[in-house]
Chains A and B, each alone.
Chain A
Amino acid sequence: MLCQKCQTNQASVHMQQFMHGQKVELHLCQECAFKIDNPEMLVSLENIFKGFLDQLTAQHFPQGAMPSGAAAGATDKIKAKRSPVKACARCGMTFHKFKTGGRLGCDVCYKSFKTEVEVLLKNVQGSTRHEGKYPRRMGAGIFNKRQVTDLRDKLKKAIELEDFENAARIRDEIRALETANNSETGSVMTE
């Protein structure tokens, strides 16, 4: 068997890795194996993403009955029918390029492809909500901002449930927090 990386030497090192619930196998020559710090890069996240993103494409562009097991071919057809091309307003990254390369083009891509990114994060990360460190320069306002995000979710649910009394209360809470937030951190936090 030839080395998967250089394609010239015989593969003598065989690596196995489990990530995101998938088994990844690598067959490399000794030379290349020593150079690998991060096999994630080598197998490319394409494989890991592809499943999720194909699902997503299918959800977005349902084409009637799609035979199971033919997802890849089917999505290609769907892609061909797609118009207009969805691109990031800041960097011009397209959804198709992101899907094949697995990398986003800039911070605004997270907003430009919000739906796709959220599906991906839910599947790959199991969450869409940051719970960790935040930049010091954001100051205390960030706590309010997080609360506002939570409250907005609650507000949406309350409205869906036609619980308008509760919705009004939540709306007032959001307003109070936003006022406090603006006076503390100026306009840094605007989205």
Chain B
Amino acid sequence: MNMPWYQEPISDESEILSSRVRLARNIKKYPFRRKLNPTEAGIMVAEAADAVTMGGSFFRRLEPENFSKTEQSVFIEKHIVSPEFLNGNLPKGLLISDDQNVSVMLNEEDHVRIQSIKPGDNLTQAYETASQIDDLIEERVEFAFDTEYGYLTACPTNTGTGLRASYMIHLPCLSRADTNLPSNLFSNLAKFGVAIRGIYGEGTAPMGSIYQISNQNTLGKSESDIIAGLKTVTQNVITQERIEQEKMQKTNRRHLEDIVYRAYGIASNCRLISAAEAMNLLSDIRLGYNTGLLDMPKTQKPIYQIMMEIQPAHLQRTRGEDLDETQRDIIRADYLREILLRPV
């Protein structure tokens, strides 16, 4: 069995942690979700679920309605489902491959949302997988499609290909060098039809220096052009990151060493730690390993996997249901020490 994307060592190899593709489709004979009544929604979900599973595919059908709070949050933290999907009261369905790399949400904003995630830089492969699932479903149901506008979606920002392609990228040096990074670099990217999103912790330090970069437009370009465009822009951003990294290594090597060793020191000795702080330390440790500046035994698990596992719901699930914030901070600190000090 394949591993989930975030457990693959390839996610540690470059700035690109993972590649993700989402296809939005609607079934022609039903109105979109906003105008769908519960009875119709139930029938639609059953029909679409059959279409996915009857193609002899490898999906398991889950019942999102019966998820515990923790299970819900785990799926959200993994970006497999959206919070909106779980919150809605209409019937819904979730189909997922055993390795969790491919999933289909039924009755989210659109009737069918196919998602495929691959570790590292594998956007084309991710698209091919999603497209195959699309073909499979389409053998049994007719999608709303217009020769002029393409696939018709509830929101016109998804019309056409219904394709949202994205990379998760790690930009520790750029984030550090320029605290106004998003404003300066990212507003330029909008001109290329690319949206970038960063998550910011307290103050100006970006949380984990992880950004999601995705195509903005879904219409007027073929799927392969959209992917190629996103790839080019992302490569440019990564080049900027590497230039910055080299500059820092050349002019301020001692400072950079201090950052990565300090992060390692805190992460491997702390007794209480928030998810946000842990993310930032792991980000610096990742930078340390990738630049070779941190001369410590490499963790067995990829850093991305550790980042995933220290999220609140993930901890909750592995260590018991009802943990308060302090208990989580304790368990998180214990886990980090264990994983960093006993790497093998």
Contacts and interface: CB of A to CB of B under 8 A. Distances in A.
Give 4 nearest A-B pairs by CB, closest first: A127-B220, A130-B150, A107-B144, A106-B31
Contacts of A33: 199
Interface stretch (B158-166, B241-249, B330-338): B158-166
A41 B84 contact: yes
B132 to A, nearest CB: 12
Contact of A126 (B79, B193, B207): B193
A120 B152 CA distance: 14
B193 to A, nearest CB: 7
A107 B25 CA distance: 11
A106 B76 contact: no
14 contacts: A13-B201, A18-B182, A34-B311, A37-B76, A37-B82, A41-B84, A45-B157, A93-B34, A106-B31, A110-B149, A131-B222, A132-B163, A132-B223, A137-B142
Nearest to B127: A133
A134 B145 contact: yes
B293 interface: no
Given A18-B195, A107-B28, A126-B193, 13 more contacts: A13-B199, A16-B200, A20-B195, A38-B82, A41-B83, A103-B155, A107-B144, A121-B219, A124-B157, A125-B157, A125-B219, A125-B220, A132-B160
B224 to A, nearest CB: 9
A106 B186 CA distance: 34
Nearest to B86: A35
Interface residues of B, number: 73
B223 A34 contact: no
Contacts, number: 197
Contacts of B207: 13
Interface in B180-204: 182-183, 186-187, 189-190, 193, 195-202
Interface in B67-90: 73, 76-77, 79, 81-84
Contact of B150 (A13, A20, A132): A132
Interface in A28-51: 30-31, 33-41, 45, 48
A142 interface: yes
Nearest to B196: A18
A129 B219 contact: yes
A151 interface: no
A93 B33 CA distance: 12
B26 interface: yes
Contacts of B83: 35-37, 41
Contacts of A62: none
A136 interface: yes
A171 to B, nearest CB: 19
A130 B196 contact: no
Interface of A: 12-21, 23, 30-31, 33-41, 45, 48, 90-93, 101-107, 109-110, 117, 120-121, 124-138, 142, 145-146, 149, 189
A150 to B, nearest CB: 10
A21 B189 CA distance: 9
A40 B83 CA distance: 12
B275 A18 contact: no
B217 A125 contact: yes
A31 B31 CA distance: 34
Contacts of A101: 34
Nearest to B181: A16
Contact of B223 (A105, A133, A142): A133
B145 to A, nearest CB: 5
Contact of A130 (B33, B34, B183, B219): B219
Contacts of B63: none
B138 A107 contact: no
B190 A18 contact: yes
Contact of B156 (A34, A104, A129): A104
Interface centre among B148, B163, B193, B222, by most chain A C-beta atoms within 10 angstroms, is: B148
B276 interface: yes
Nearest to A40: B157
B155 A102 contact: yes
B219 A128 contact: yes
A15 B221 contact: no
A13 B276 contact: yes
Nearest to B28: A107
Contacts of B76: 34-35, 37
Contacts of A146: 147
A14 B222 CA distance: 34
Nearest to B194: A18
Contacts of B152: 104, 107, 110
B135 to A, nearest CB: 6
